Amino acid sequence: MAAFARVSGSVGLITLQNPPVNALSAAVRQGIVDSVQRALREPEVKCVVICGQNGIFCGGADIREFSGPMSGPPLIPMIHSIEVAAKPVVAAIEGSALGGGLEIALGCHYRIAHSKTRLGLPEVTLGLLPAAGGSQRLPRLIGVPAALDLITTGRHVTAAEALQLGMVDQVTDRNVTDVAVKFALSVVGKPLDARRISMHSCPHSPDLDELFERTMQHVRQRARGAIAPVACVQAVRAAATLPYAQGMEKERELMATLFTSGQARALQYCFFAQRAIGRWSMPSGARWDTSKPRPVHKTAVIGLGTMGRGIAVTLAQAGFPVIAVENHEKQLMAAKQAISGMLERGAKRRGVTPVLNKITYSRDIQSVANADLVIEAVFEDMALKEKVFQQLSAICKPGALLCTNTSGLNIDHLASQVRNPELVVGMHFFAPAHVMKLLEVVYGPRSSSEALATAMAVGKKIGKVSVAVGNCQGFVGNRMLEHYVEQALFLLEEGATPELVDQALEEFGFAMGVFRMSDLSGLDIGWRVRKGKGLAVPDPTTGQTARVQQGRRYSPVADLICEQGRFGQKTGQGWYQYNTPGSRVGKPDPWVHNFLKDYRARHGLVARRIDHQEVLERCLYSMINEGFRILEDGIAAGPEDIDVIYVFGYSWPRHRGGPMFYAHMVGLPKVLERLEHYHQAHPDVPSLQPCNLLRKLVANGSPPIQKWKEVMKKINSRL
Ligand SMILES: CCCCCCCC/C=C\C=C\CC(=O)SCCNC(=O)CCNC(=O)[C@H](O)C(C)(C)COP(=O)(O)OP(=O)(O)OC[C@H]1O[C@@H](n2cnc3c(N)ncnc32)[C@H](O)[C@@H]1OP(=O)(O)O
């Protein structure tokens, strides 16, 4: 709702009240409409101030309302009524003014912001555009280039930047409502027309056409198929070229298309999924709200290879003192230099002082004795990690949390090496660790809820999107990825080329297809893992790696490529060819095409035509099927956890919501039917066999994704 009060004799104060962010629910909108009418009606009221309760102006429209039938007064006429009011209306902005919240402020005649406020039109991140006049008012207020930037990216600006751009009239460090009340009284009786943004004409510049062309090109390149950024450019173009009323009509048309699109649903699902993962639970019943994290003051990182360096930087940037340990002198020196460079560059980008003194370097593992949390980041080798954990167990103070940065090794086995296995968790960072947002926090059967709570709290403090997952080979992300990569290799055997597979995946929205991505990260990494698993070993009789391993179809194509020393970008050759080692631009490689031709001939395989649809179905559905198995096994608590992992760690296109949301959008019966079809065609590929949970969800009427957990609980309790 919105409360009305008369203050300082003649100021009508309207306070938005809808915790936690004063979102514009139907009740809040009704409250505003009623309060504005009252303020205009009461002769004692000479001016109006709009503010929000609890230190936040407004987080925008109530996103939860978008999935149901809309009720209550619409925003556009409500904002219009503020703008045409005959009494001055001042927005007193603190905390955040986002989306519809900022659109209300733009309808006011004056805007005063607290210095700590952030303002923005983030609708594009929800698959929408600022459709309560925001796309038409903002360019009129701050000019087309700045409005295009803000509306197409959705970025939030500080109060200082807002003042510089002309979005707000004043910034204060004092109580913003008090300042706004005083200000409102000072403008009573002054003419208001010039303050009504919809009456301004859009600032004109001769190179507008070129600006729109350039922005549209840039936006399309970055959007990976997302439609909202394109619509945002079209809406701003309407503001720049049409009278306000016609611009509003265009804004409405564009919004109507976006509002009902699958992309908007996917992006709004992601918004809530990202918040839902913070409410973790363990199979033991322990939960985020009943488990207390331990205090963490001092941290340590063991092993300063690429991952260790990135982790140390992340911890230091978040304010943690870090003891960085590396026992090889040369490696330690190199790491020190690299870390300092990373901290300096990061600080320059953020306009702050580099925190070089947060990190203490040492060659002696004994120096971590006082740390509250230690992250082991040595080479991905179980024997080596075991040794480090045994040492840590002897050295660390009682109660210290021992974490391993591993992409898939058994957490429980490492826990068995220490005195307090309940204090061991996995922290799976993604490379580069100081850049990538995702952190899989892995609990084993013996990890305590306190240990998990502590790792999750540290993850949050260092700015990572942290997802709690159970212990299994590959955890969630890599376990699913294995099936995606496997299908891509099978498709090569059956007639596809790396570029055909990549093109299908990139058109779907991945930043890079599977082969381009493995060229970037290095083919040798996967090769080493496969060798470790006893795959990729030649048959002693034929000398060749067999196409059946451990009782199932196996493709040795990637191993054979590695045998040629083709490790991707770093060697200048992989699935693609590069002009020089280290170059990033790959071209289709005739050598690879001939190699595949020979390979097929050697194994009696007849190449067939493979289309993009098959690439997507085989690669994505097999991975989704594994996602259902992960849910069945209780490794992830819900589909949101899997989707957040894929969006933040594996460049899954956000506007498609994540693999499990995608399955929900495609329809579970269709996913099941296609998996059955492909499994029939490839009975030696177990990952194509539909898993029980998928079958059961379909048998239960394919409920929407928000209901899967309920159905899963029901199914489990019946077992
Ligand atoms: C056919 C044509 C039909 C056309 C109809 C058109 C009608 C629509 C017209 C206009 C539309 C306007 C568009 C909008 O305004 S869209 C919303 C834009 N706003 C945002 O994107 C802001 C989203 N929120 C945030 O960025 C943050 O929450 C922030 C406000 C910065 C606060 O951050 P923080 O303090 O970190 O808190 P949390 O993010 O954890 O949020 C706390 C809980 O509040 C929930 N929340 C936040 N914002 C909203 C919202 N706008 N609506 C509903 N709920 C919201 C959030 O989910 C948290 O709750 P929970 O943990 O339970 O998920």
pLDDT mean by block of 10 residues, the chain; 719 residues: 96 98 98 98 98 98 93 97 98 98 98 98 98 98 97 98 98 98 98 97 88 96 95 98 97 97 98 97 93 97 96 98 96 97 95 95 97 96 95 96 94 96 97 96 96 98 98 95 97 98 97 96 89 79 77 92 95 95 92 97 95 98 98 95 97 97 98 98 95 95 93 71
Which residues have any ligand 1 atom within 6 Å of their CB? 20-21, 23, 59-64, 75, 96, 98-100, 122-123, 126, 128, 131-132, 255-256, 259, 272, 275
User: What pLDDT does 717 receive?
Assistant: 66
- Between the CA of 203 and the centroid of ligand 1 the distance, in Å, is 31
ipTM of this complex > 0.90?
Answer: yes
Task: Determine which residue's CA is closest to atom 60 belonging to ligand 1.
Answer: 275
Sign of the alpha-carbon torsion through 57, 63, 65, 70: positive
CA dihedral 575, 579, 584, 589 (to 10 degrees): -20
Extended beta strands in 151-198, E state: 157-158, 170-172
pLDDT at res. 390: 97
Catalytic residues: 103, 123
Q: Please report the pLDDT score of residue 537 as a whole number.
A: 74
Please, which residues have CB within 8 angstroms of residue 152's CB and are 6 or more apart in sequence? 124, 215, 219, 229, 232, 233, 236
Tell me, yes or no, if the two domains 2-259 and 612-718 fold the same way: no
Calculate the CA 274 to chain-centre distance. Answer: 7
Distance 553 CA to ligand 1 centre (A): 47
Sign of CA dihedral 261, 264, 269, 272: negative
Query: Which residue's CA lies nearest to atom 42 of ligand 1?
Result: 20
Q: How far away, in angstroms, is 58 Cα from ligand 1 center?
A: 9
pLDDT for position 718: 58
Asked if the bond preceding 398 is cis, omega within 30° of 0, the reply is no
Ligand 1: which atom is nearest the Cα of residue 271?
Answer: 57
Q: Do residues 608 and 495 touch, judged by C-beta distance below 8 A? A: yes
Q: What local confidence, expressed as pLDDT, does residue 710 receive?
A: 87
Q: What phi and psi, each to the nearest 5 degrees, are found at residue 671?
A: -60, -45
C-alpha to C-alpha distance for 580 and 483, rounded to whole angstroms: 31
pLDDT, residue 125, reads 98
- Residue-range domain boundaries for the chain: 2-259, 299-475, 496-602, 612-718
Q: How far is the CA of 183 from the centre of ligand 1 (A)?
A: 29
Task: Give me the CATH topology for the region 612-718.
Answer: N-(1-d-carboxylethyl)-l-norvaline Dehydrogenase; domain 2 (1.10.1040)
Contact present, 228 and 263 (Cβ < 8 Å): yes
Distance, in Å, from the CA atom of 189 to the CA atom of 192, rounded to the nearest integer, reads 9
Looking at ligand 1, which atom is closest to the CA of residue 20? Answer: 44
CA of 81 to the centre of ligand 1 (A): 23
Question: Which residues, 6 or more positions from 36, have their beta carbon under 8 angstroms from its beta carbon?
Answer: 14, 48, 78, 81, 82, 85, 89
Nearest atom within ligand 1 for CA of residue 154: 21
Class of 299-475 in CATH: alpha beta
- Tell me, what DSSP letter sits at residue 86? S
**Options 3.90.950.20, 1.10.3720.10, 1.10.1040.10, 2.40.10.220; which CATH number does 496-602 get?**
1.10.1040.10
As a whole number of angstroms, the distance between CA 165 and CA 152 comes to 16
pTM of the predicted model as reported, rounded to 2 decimal places: 0.95
Contact by Cβ (8 Å): 302, 325: yes
Q: What is the pLDDT, as a whole number, of residue 109? A: 98
- Token readout for 248 is 């509003």
Mapped onto helix, strand or coil, the DSSP state of residue 509 is coil
- Closest CA to ligand 1's atom 57: 272
Contact 415, 421 (CB under 8 A): yes
- Ligand 1 atom with minimal separation from the 60 CA: 15
Q: Where are the beta strands (DSSP E) in 344-389?
A: 359-362, 373-376
Q: 2-259 has which fold?
A: 2-enoyl-CoA Hydratase; Chain A, domain 1 (3.90.226)
